[in-house]
């Protein structure tokens, strides 16, 4: 990463800053009711908590949640209609106002205030919308837990939406941090929802602990921002960062203080933790231990995009650093590739979706770093819908087949009676994720891919190829799931959660393949063959709530492509992003032309990257479309064509040819083991060493000091003879000794 | 009340004459008397076993201290020491009443006045 290749990037950034964007404009006072978007989910959390205390056994908490979140969503829509495009702050409660002097930076102000611009509106629209829909889905999905954990689930669900709304709408870094920790807490609570299952508890702890690392960095970044900018409020920070951007624009990198360059690096680490990027991604696949609605909402659509939001929101600060965005680019692209390769080798369909989430988040980060904050935001937007669809389809399968998630044990689900809608929604989700032309996922991914070739930066073209390769892998593993589970011969083998016969099914058993051995042991290997075998198991098809939500989400996944055509340069989402603080200029042809015209690039250097000698924006449609098609075709040949049973496919023949690589990929490239060896084991050893030190040295010292007086007392005890004359003689002798001593000292 | 009577000559001695006319009797004489009395008290306390005698010995040490106080008070022409002795006497009187009552009780328990009968506080 030599700085010579960075300069053009910064110039490009500088050109972006020139465009008079909204973050430099005046701040208006927003209306009071935007606070309700935050307050309603909190109210829901309290009411669900009360319902839990009253031991409500009906579906009341679910519909309460749907109603309140729906109202919150309606308010978010009206917030978009009224406030998008401008910049307004609503201060609803003066939270922290603490001064210890009158000088600059001696006053900490952090209000319960809401910073509303187009970026906020975009995020709140899909957060509240998806939360409402997924709450409706969960009302049916969680019905087995009615009276057990139903109220607890919805209380945490509401609390999550509250925290997420604080994170997105807060007008200062402190409120963002509150929301950040809040979503982390709710994530922990919901991953560990089936708290009687050790795997779920371990996953919850893992998620929380791994996130600690990122959260520490975010906290440090916030403190540094306060130390340097004298405020944690976005409006102030953006205003004070402006001179640095001006300095970069005029080529004076050295005028940007070191501290300002460190702040985005810290924020970046925070974002990597929450959004599951290298090296902190390991918690997200394990988080699939939580109920599927949670996986869909928190661990696919909303919470994990908080990192993307953080970078987009504080983009002006990121523009001040010459290293932050390149690092984000490399981390994002490598995470995308790594997670995709792991996803290819997994058998648990929910885990595959989890790795695809990690991979897609990598795309978003790469997009941010390629100065395509608009592409990143658009990908967040489309991904939220199609990934929620995919997860909810997996959830429906899991719900209907007693927790079965192994793609070797299910086949032809879409053709079974009552499963048509699930199959259709799954197909739409898969098409989007694979980036098939004219789907939303295709357009949003292409914005990022094209920009990776347009933006001139340190090795960005290499990263573009990495991301293109990943797009092909994504298409393959996505359709591997589809061809194995949803089409082909109709056969299935249920999981081990036979909750039709067992009221506490969810709490007692595992979902994953570990549980299968147990099922086999019970029923014998003979029960594998035909549908409906063995113990009279009949898959129960999803009911109205799940089907309705899947239909709406599938439709929304398709409709998410429409905004691409609403307006120039990528449509509606880029327009929203450019109206906000996250703007850059490099999205779309027009702005790139403006950049060329500005003549800021170095003489002789090509300012506009090309792909096959063409404009990447145009040719990328064909390139990525072709790569996606190849991926799907390979999946078709390996996992569908000629497949007779659920358990075997042509891919099995390929596995030996790969040698140990296939096994490594299945074992997640041994990253968990590596972390075990690098972090956990040394910590374990160290803790035992400290334990020994504590036992021997510290405790030894303390015990010694306890033992000394006791031993002395043992020796001196006989002097306490109980004889009055003995005491008196002692006193007399002592007095005499003192007198002699005094006499000797004085004379 | 013999103790109080015993202290009265000390009182008179202290009042006797202004320092300038003390002549042959100096502060040192009083202090020697005081020290001798104190030592007698200590020795008596350590050697005798009879609780009443031991108590009387403590009273003697008390009065020895009183003599010293009064002598110094007179020597410095200052009333603090003398006033303090009045308080000491008052306390000694109250203490005598209590201590003798205690001795009576102890005697009733063991039918003996010997201090050696009481060794219950052995460690």
Q: Can you tell me the mean pLDDT for A641-654?
A: 81
- pLDDT of A512 strictly over 50: no
Chain B residue numbers touching A723 (CB-CB < 8 A):
115-116, 119, 122
Do B103 and B55 touch, CB atoms closer than 8 A? yes
Residues A578 and A673 in one domain: no
Contact of A463 with A330, CB cutoff 8 Å: yes
The reported pLDDT for the residue numbered A243 is 85
pLDDT of residue A522 exceeding 50 = no
Q: What is the pLDDT of residues A229-245, one digit of tens each?
A: 988 999 889 888 888 88
Q: Is the Cβ of B114 closer than 8 Å to some Cβ of chain A? A: no
Query: What string of DSSP letters covers A374-401?
Result: HHHHHHHHHHHHHHHHHHHHHHHHHHHT
* Residue B73 domain-assigned (yes or no): yes
Residues making up chain A, counted from first to last: 747
* Domain carrying residue B108: 2-18+26-115
A489 and A390: one domain?
yes
What pLDDT score does A535 carry? 56
**Residue A728 is nearest to which of B46, B116, B122, comparing CB atoms?**
B46
pLDDT at A677 over 80: yes
What percent of chain A clears pLDDT 90, i.e. is strictly above it? Answer: 47
A732 shares contact with chain B (CB less than 8 Å): yes
Tell me the pLDDT tens digit for each residue of A138-195: 998 888 888 888 999 999 999 999 999 999 999 999 999 999 999 999 999 999 999 9
**Hey, is A39 helix, strand or coil?**
helix
Q: Are residues A557 and A576 in the same domain?
A: yes
| B23 touches A: beta carbon within 8 Å | no
Which of A402-406, B55-59, B88-92, B95-99 shows the lowest per-residue confidence on average (mean pLDDT)? Answer: A402-406
Tokens of A460: 């960005």
Tell whether B119 lies on the interface with A, counting CB pairs under 8 A: yes
CA angle at A533 for the pair A528 and A534, rounded to the nearest 5°: 90
Residue A154 domain-assigned (yes or no): no
What pLDDT is stored for residue B40 in this prediction?
A: 94
Residue B108 in contact with partner chain A when CB distance is under 8 A: no
Q: Which residues of A touch B46 (CB under 8 A)?
A: 725, 728-729, 732
| Closest Cβ–Cβ partner in A717, A719, A724 for B118 | A724
Residues A460, A599, single domain; the answer is yes
Tokens of residue A519, six digits: 């099922």
The answer on A419 and A349 residing in a single domain is yes
Tell me which chain A residue has its CA closest to the CA of residue B123. Answer: A720
- pLDDT mean over B17-26: 62
Average pLDDT, integer, range A630-637: 92
Least confident of A86-100, A456-470, A673-687, B14-28: B14-28
* Interface check B109 vs A, CB under 8 A: no
On the question of pLDDT at A595 being above 50, the answer is no
| Alpha-carbon radius of gyration of chain A | 31
Q: CATH number for the domain including B41?
A: 1.10.287.3510
Per-residue confidence (pLDDT) for residue A608, from 0 to 100: 60
Helix (H, G, I), strand (E, B) or coil at A528: helix
Domain count, chain A: 2
The residue range of the domain holding A680 is: 667-698
- The residues facing A99 across adjacent strands are A107
Q: Is the pLDDT of residue A670 over 70?
A: yes
Mean pLDDT (whole number) for B104-121: 88
In a domain, B32, yes or no: yes
The CA-based angle A661-A664-A670, given to 5 degrees, is 150
For the cut 70, the answer to whether the pLDDT of residue A26 exceeds it is no
Size of interface A-B (CB pairs under 8 A): 31
Whole-number mean pLDDT of chain A?
83
Confidence check: pLDDT of A533 > 60: no
Cα–Cα distance for residue pair A18/A597, rounded to 1 Å:
13
Most confident of A252-261, A313-322, A627-636: A627-636
Query: pLDDT tens-digit profile of A681-704?
Result: 999 999 999 999 999 999 999 999
Give the pLDDT mean for A479-485: 92
Q: Is residue B81 part of a domain?
A: yes
Q: Residue A329 domain-assigned? A: yes
Which residue of A713, A725, A726 is the best one to mutate when testing the B interface, meaning the one whose CB has the most B CBs within 10 A?
A725
Q: Supply the pTM of this predicted model.
A: 0.76
**Together in a domain, A498 and A574:** yes
Q: Which residues in chain B are contacts of A728 at CB distance < 8 A?
A: 45-46
- pLDDT on residue A462: 87
Check whether A132 has a pLDDT greater than 60.
yes
Residue of A723, A731, A733, A739 for testing the chain B interface, max B β-carbons within 10 Å: A723
Residue B122, domain member (yes or no): no
A377-430 pLDDT, tens digit each = 999 999 999 999 999 999 999 888 888 888 888 888 888 888 999 999 999 999
Q: What is the mean pLDDT of residues A220-225?
A: 94
Does residue B120 form part of some domain?
no
- Mutation choice for B interface testing from A724, A726, A736 by most B CBs within 10 A: A724
CB contact under 8 A, B46 and A723: no
Please report which confidence band the pLDDT of residue A518 belongs to, taking 50, 70 and 90 as the band edges: very low
User: Do residue A648 and residue A671 come from a single domain?
Assistant: no
Say whether B46 and A725 touch across the interface (CB within 8 A): yes
Tell me whether residues A717 and B123 touch, CB distance under 8 A: yes
CA–CA separation, B50 vs A714, rounded Å?
Answer: 32
Report pLDDT for A23: 43
From chain B, the residues in CB contact with A722 under 8 A are 118-123
pLDDT value of residue A508 = 38
Decide if A722 touches B, using CB distance below 8 A.
yes
B123 found inside a domain: no
* B115 contacts on A by Cβ (under 8 Å): 723-725
A93: part of which helix (H) or strand (E)? strand A88-99
Q: Residue A675 and residue A679: Cα distance in Å, rounded? A: 5
Cβ-defined contact of B119 to A721 (cutoff 8 Å): yes
Residue A200: per-residue pLDDT: 93
pLDDT: is A193 or A510 the higher one? A193
- pLDDT > 60? residue A482: yes
Measured between alpha carbons, how far is residue A583 from residues A264, A373, A376, A743 in Å? 16, 7, 11, 91
- Are A428 and A496 contained in the same domain? yes
More confident residue, B74 or A20: B74
CB contact under 8 A, B123 and A732: no
**Top mean-pLDDT range of A137-151, A592-606, B44-58:** B44-58
The per-residue pLDDT for A24 is: 45
Show residues of chain B in contact with A717, CB under 8 Å.
Answer: 123
| Arithmetic mean of pLDDT, B36-49 | 93
Q: Identify the pLDDT of residue A181.
A: 95
Instruction: Quote the Cα angle for A655-A661-A662, to 5°.
Output: 40
Q: How far apart are CA A127 and CA A302, in angstroms?
A: 6
Q: Where are the alpha helices (DSSP H) in A171-233?
A: 173-191, 198-229
ipTM surpassing 0.85 = no
Q: For all residues of chain B together, what is the average pLDDT?
A: 83
Q: Is A659 on the interface with B (CB under 8 A)?
A: no
Residue that wins the pLDDT comparison between A504 and A536: A536
Mind giving me the DSSP string for A392-454? HHHHHHHHHTTT--BTTSEE-GGGSTT-HHHHHHHHHHHHHHHT-TTSHHHHHHHHHHHHHHH
Cis before residue A279, ω within 30 degrees of 0?
yes
pLDDT of residue A645: 82
With a pLDDT cut of 70, the percent of chain A lying above it is 86
The closest CB to that of B42, out of A719, A721, A732, belongs to: A732
- Count of the separate structural domains present in chain B: 1
Residue of B nearest to A722 (CA): B122
> Which residues in chain B touch residue A721, judged by CB atoms under 8 angstroms apart?
119, 122-123
* For A726, nearest residue in chain B (alpha carbons): B46
> From the centroid of its chain, how far is CA A584?
24
Higher pLDDT, A600 or A660: A660
Which of A722, A725, A728 lies closest to B120 in CB terms? A722
How many Cβ atoms from other residues are within 10 Å of residue A498's Cβ?
16
- Is A473:A631 a contact under the CB 8 Å cutoff? yes
Same domain, A475 and A615: yes
Average pLDDT value for residue range A262-286? 92
Asked if the C-beta of A723 comes within 8 angstroms of chain B's C-beta atoms, the answer is yes
A559 and A672 together in one domain:
no
In the structure, what pLDDT confidence band is assigned to residue A434 with cuts at 50, 70 and 90?
very high
Q: Please tell me whether residue A114 adopts helix, strand or coil conformation.
A: strand
Q: With 50 as the cut, is the pLDDT of residue A593 above it?
A: no
Q: Which residue of A has its CA nearest to B42?
A: A732
Shared domain check, A470 and A600: yes
Pairing of strands A107-116, A28-29: unpaired
Whether A570 and A608 share a structural domain: yes
């Amino acid at each position: 990463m030599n700085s010579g290749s960075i300069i053009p990037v910064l110039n490009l950034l500088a050109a972006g800053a020139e465009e008079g964007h909204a973050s430099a404009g005046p701040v208006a006072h927003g209306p009071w009711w935007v606070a309700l978007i935050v307050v309603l989910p909190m109210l829901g959390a309290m009411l669900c908590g009360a319902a839990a205390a009253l031991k409500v056994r009906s579906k009341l908490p679910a519909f309460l949640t749907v109603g309140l979140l729906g109202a919150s969503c309606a308010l978010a829509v009206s917030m978009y209609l009224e406030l998008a495009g401008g910049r307004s702050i609503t201060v609803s409660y003066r939270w922290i106002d603490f001064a210890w002097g009158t000088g600059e930076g001696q006053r900490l102000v952090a209000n319960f205030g809401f910073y509303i611009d187009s970026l906020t509106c975009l995020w709140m629209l899909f957060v509240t919308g998806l939360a409402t829909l997924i709450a409706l889905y969960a009302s049916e999905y969680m019905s087995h837990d009615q009276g057990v954990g139903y109220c607890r689930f919805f209380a945490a669900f509401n609390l999550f939406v509250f925290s997420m709304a604080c994170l997105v709408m807060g007008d200062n870094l402190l409120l963002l941090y509150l929301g950040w920790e809040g979503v982390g807490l709710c994530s922990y609570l919901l991953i560990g929802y089936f708290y009687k299952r050790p795997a779920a508890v371990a996953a919850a702890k893992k998620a929380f602990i791994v996130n600690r690392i990122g959260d520490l960095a975010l906290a440090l970044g916030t403190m540094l921002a306060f130390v340097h900018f004298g405020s944690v409020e976005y409006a102030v920070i953006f205003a004070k960062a402006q001179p640095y951007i001006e300095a970069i624009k005029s080529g004076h990198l050295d005028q940007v203080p070191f501290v300002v360059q460190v702040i985005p690096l810290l924020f970046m680490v925070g974002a990597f933790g929450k959004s599951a990027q290298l090296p902190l991604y390991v918690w997200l696949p394990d988080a699939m231990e939580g109920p599927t609605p949670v996986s869909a909402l928190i661990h696919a659509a909303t919470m994990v995009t908080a990192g993307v939001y953080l970078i987009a929101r504080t983009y002006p600060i990121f523009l001040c650093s010459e290293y932050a965005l390149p690092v984000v680019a490399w981390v994002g692209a490598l995470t995308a590739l790594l997670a995709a390769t792991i996803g290819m080798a997994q058998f648990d369909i929910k885990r595959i979706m989890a790795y695809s989430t990690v991979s897609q988040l990598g795309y978003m980060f790469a997009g941010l770093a390629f100065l395509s904050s608009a592409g990143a935001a658009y990908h967040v937007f489309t991904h939220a819908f199609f990934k929620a669809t995919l997860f909810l389809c997996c959830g429906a399968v899991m719900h209907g087949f007693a927790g079965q998630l192994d793609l070797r044990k299910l086949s032809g689900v879409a053709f079974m009676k009552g499963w048509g809608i699930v199959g259709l929604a799954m197909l739409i989700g898969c098409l989007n994720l694979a980036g098939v032309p004219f789907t939303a996922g295709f357009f949003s991914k292409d914005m990022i891919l094209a920009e990776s070739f347009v933006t001139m930066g340190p090795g960005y073209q290499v990263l573009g190829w990495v991301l293109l390769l990943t797009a092909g892998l994504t298409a393959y593993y996505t359709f591997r799931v589809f061809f194995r589970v949803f089409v082909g011969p109709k056969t299935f083998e249920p999981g081990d959660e036979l909750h039709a016969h067992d009221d506490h099914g969810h709490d007692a058993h595992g979902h994953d393949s570990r549980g299968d051995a147990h099922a086999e042991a019970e029923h014998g290997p003979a029960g594998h063959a035909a549908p409906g075998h063995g113990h009279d198991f009949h898959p129960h098809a999803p009911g109205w709530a799940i089907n309705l939500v899947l239909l709406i989400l599938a439709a929304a996944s398709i409709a998410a492509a429409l905004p691409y055509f609403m307006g120039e340069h990528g449509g509606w989402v880029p327009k929203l992003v450019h109206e906000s603080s996250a703007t850059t200029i490099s999205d779309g042809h027009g702005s790139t032309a403006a950049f060329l015209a500005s003549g800021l690039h170095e003489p002789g250097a090509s300012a506009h990257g090309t792909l096959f000698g063409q404009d990447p924006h145009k040719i990328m449609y064909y390139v990525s479309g072709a790569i996606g098609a190849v991926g799907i075709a390979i999946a078709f040949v390996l996992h569908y064509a000629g497949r007779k049973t659920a358990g075997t496919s042509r891919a099995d023949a390929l596995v030996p040819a790969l040698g140990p690589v296939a096994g490594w990929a299945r074992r997640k490239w041994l990253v968990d083991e590596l972390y075990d060896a690098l972090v956990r084991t040394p910590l374990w050893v160290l803790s035992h060493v400290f334990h020994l030190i504590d036992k021997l040295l510290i405790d030894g010292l303390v015990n010694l000091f306890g033992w000394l007086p006791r031993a002395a007392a043992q020796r001196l005890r006989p002097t306490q003879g109980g004889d009055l004359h003995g005491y008196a003689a002692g006193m007399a002798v002592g007095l005499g000794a003192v007198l002699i001593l005094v006499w000797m000292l004085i004379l | 009340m013999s103790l109080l009577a015993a202290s009265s000559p000390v009182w008179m001695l202290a009042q006797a004459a202004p320092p300038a006319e003390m002549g042959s009797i100096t502060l040192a004489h009083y202090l020697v008397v005081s020290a001798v009395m104190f030592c007698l008290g200590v020795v008596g306390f350590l050697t005798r076993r009879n609780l009443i005698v031991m108590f009387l010995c403590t009273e003697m040490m008390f009065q020895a201290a009183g003599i010293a106080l009064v002598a110094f008070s007179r020597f410095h022409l200052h009333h603090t020491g003398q006033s303090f002795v009045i308080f000491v006497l008052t306390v000694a009187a109250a203490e005598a009443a209590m201590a003798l009552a205690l001795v009576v009780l102890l005697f009733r328990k063991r039918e003996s006045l010997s201090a050696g009968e009481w060794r219950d506080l052995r460690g």
